[in-house]
Amino acid sequence: MKPKDLQTLRILEEIGKNGSTSQRELAKKLGVSLGLVNTFIKRLYRKGYFKITTIPRNRVKYLLTPKGFAEKTRLTYEYIQYSVHFYKNIRSILTSLYGNLEQDGVKSIAFYGCGEVAELAYLLVQNHRLKLAAVMDDTDKKNFFGYKVQDIRGAENIEKIEFDRILLTKLEDVEQDMKTLIRLGIPEYKIVRL
């Protein structure tokens, strides 16, 4: 799914939930700039996906049109298809990767990252003879399927953990994550990418 389509879907969903949401509130909810939201709003309005009405105190209300509702439905379907394809692809990659690690004699792994990919990695590792030794991240998340998330911002935490390989379970900023782990003293050969 294209990032532009995903942003369109998210904006249409928010407008569908609460048409009186300001552009500033939309930007904050979506984690994008106000200017980008403004550009999207103008483009979607020109396409006829919603109407704009003025409400008291110089505010506007966005009303989803039937055309906008149809586009939201189409994008939702596309997002579901994308998600299923993504899930199947990651599942295939992880299954193959775990098999290769077992063949190489690896007994224990750690995860770096505790998001959605890590959740899938956790579920799939249950079908293999690999032991999950730890889950590490640089977020404030405390628990992951009963594991205490080790905060890598405190390097002393990592030195105490024994594992044969560490699996990068984040898909963004992989190069930066590699550098971070190497800087923390983890040998490059122990770091496994998806």
Residue 185: predicted pLDDT: 87
Which domains, from first to last, does the chain contain? 3-75 (1.10.10.10), 105-192 (3.40.50.720)
136 pLDDT tier (thresholds 50, 70, 90): very high
Residue 150: predicted pLDDT: 87
Q: What is the reported pTM?
A: 0.77
One-letter amino acid identity for 49?
Y
Residue-wise pLDDT tens digits, 81-122: 999 999 999 999 999 999 999 999 999 999 999 999 999 999
